[in-house]
Chain A
């Protein structure tokens, strides 16, 4: 088998497509965590987004409504989480887990009537340019708008956090909610907004899976990607650009494994599938060792409830 440059381009494209849901969900959760909230319900929000988008696409036939619907589904379910953790001051870990279990269950219930329905063709951009330049054109052209959005998101997120006033407020709330509150910032409102935003991005990630990537609906279709997205946030030390790299590595490990099989290379499939998880643990250990560094990067109030008498 000749390894030509165009083929490498195709493989990279597949890896990028596989990375999209991870990038979206991780960037969303990143904002949530930067405001000090640990939302373990990413998997639940993603799967709700998946069914919301797919159901709306099938019922209304409008892909625009479906994409918005996927995000709204994520927002709706994350509202439950926000209400519980911010207003009723419940335990973050328990609430997030309940969100995941509930989300998987209810999405399967709603989705029962949508199993086995073919998805609609999602419009792709720059299709005519798809075969022009070897190597570059499959990477740059012929993708859905969600794909392009996903690859732009880390840069927007980075800019938002570092260079905008609201971004600064978010970080302040995450690092020191008490002093932020004393300066008149409404901590609850900021956190609510960040949680809902995270929900929207996770919902979009799920919608991408069900409407563009496969495209179909089946229960539990997110298959643990939500948990990987959570790991990616820590893996990237809360830096959006590093999320991009991490997501590609994860996506890559899956895709490369199939390619190696197709080439006849004998590989232990389960080991390769386990590699992303093992690699995550190793990276987590490495970045946590430098406790000063991790303390600098972790939002200090992450996971702790904020209560103020008023």
Chain B
């Protein structure tokens, strides 16, 4: 009796388990919430590329674009959670509070929040990319290729992510060219082609012959093309917008991470994570190097890429001094993630002050 009971119990449990797993694995649906339009060819466009990768992997997806970071965001998230989506990706910092709030009410739905830091419930994860590693590569190229020793940088908002990018860029540029100067203009927008072109033009008029950007539209590379200077693409490969001007771009490659997380939900192995991946993990990709880059520089860049990927080189290796001359990172040491996450001071060699 005992044996039969145990055997039937075990087999029913196995049966139930297989049933559940197969049911879960079949129908996982993923939703994506975007702050901008999918056609922006920048931030949102790349997230959508990631979403398409999820679809290619066989899962159903939907997206909502242009969701403002206001009270509306909460409603959209709730609607998605209510409509049977198992995992929701919220792709902007400003969605942090609504994400956590809705996550509380839907413990069975997984939430992935980009570039944030609050994870108030076990079903909320954060993820971001080490864009600054890409910036280090851009800085190496810019420092080597500038003839006027003036590099222009169109920045968006004075937040750690942007400051980090500026610093990584400048440090790398200075390594190959100690005389280089980085001029920064704050556009106070992530996406405004009109403003971005005006900012770029001002930098070019002031002698910059290479322009880098931390804003999302293609206007800047187009202005660079017209003016005959070099530029770098941001978030996506912007080469087709400015074939002569764009030397390379730093691409946000979200696809593998997204597919990974959706699969984890399907397998039941999803757990809360705080992911910060860089070149090594494939989240940050450098586009093809333009033919204008001389072959020895190309080789140098490729080596740097490999070293950053393997961890041999860290973009923030001491000695690093800030603008005032104080030591930020000691010789031989590297900046830890905590310092990077809260970075709000310029390194030496960056001109100007951080606004506010």
Contact = CB atoms under 8 A, between A and B. Distances in A.
A161 B355 CA distance: 48
A10 interface: yes
Given A116-B40, A118-B241, A264-B352, A216 B217 contact: yes
Interface centre among B188, B195, B205, B206 (most CB of A within 10 A): B205
Interface string A250-287: 00001100110111101001100000000000000000
A214 interface: yes
Contacts of B203: 258, 262
Contact of B201 (A14, A116, A118): A14
Contacts of B195: 254
A303 interface: no
Nearest to B42: A116
Contacts of A119: 222
Interface size class of A (residues with CB under 8 A): 20 to 34
Given A14-B202, A261-B184, A214 B193 contact: yes
Contacts of A18: 198
B45 interface: yes
Contacts of B219: 214, 216
A221 B194 CA distance: 8
Contacts of B205: 7, 10-11, 14, 259
A231 to B, nearest CB: 18
Contacts of B191: 218
B186 interface: yes
B351 A264 contact: yes
B194 A261 contact: no
A266 B185 CA distance: 11
Interface centre among B194, B201, B217, B222 (most CB of A within 10 A): B194
Interface centre among A14, A209, A270 (most CB of B within 10 A): A14
A219 interface: yes
Given A116-B41, A118-B241, A214-B222, A221 B201 contact: no
A223 B218 CA distance: 17
Contacts of B351: 264
B202 A255 contact: yes
The DSSP consensus for interface residues of chain A is helix
B218 A115 contact: no
Nearest to A18: B198
A215 interface: yes
Interface string A110-151: 001111101100000000000000000000000000000000
A155 interface: no
Contacts of B222: 118-119, 214-216
B332 interface: no
Nearest to B202: A258
A1 interface: yes
Contacts of B45: 116
Contact of B194 (A113, A213, A264, A270): A213
Contacts of B318: none
Contacts of B41: 115-116
B218 A209 contact: no
Contact of B206 (A114, A216, A262, A266): A262
Contact of B185 (A113, A218, A262): A262
Contact of B193 (A113, A216, A258, A266): A216
Given A116-B39, A215-B222, A254 B193 contact: no
Contacts of B250: none
B353 interface: yes
A263 B206 contact: yes
B199 A258 contact: yes
Interface of B: 37-41, 45, 152, 183-186, 188, 191-195, 197-199, 201-203, 205-206, 217-219, 222, 240-241, 351-353, 355
8 contacts: A10-B205, A11-B205, A14-B205, A113-B39, A115-B40, A213-B194, A218-B37, A259-B202
Given A7-B206, A218-B193, A264-B352, 14 more contacts: A10-B205, A11-B205, A14-B205, A116-B40, A118-B240, A216-B217, A221-B193, A254-B195, A258-B203, A261-B202, A262-B185, A262-B202, A266-B352, A269-B188
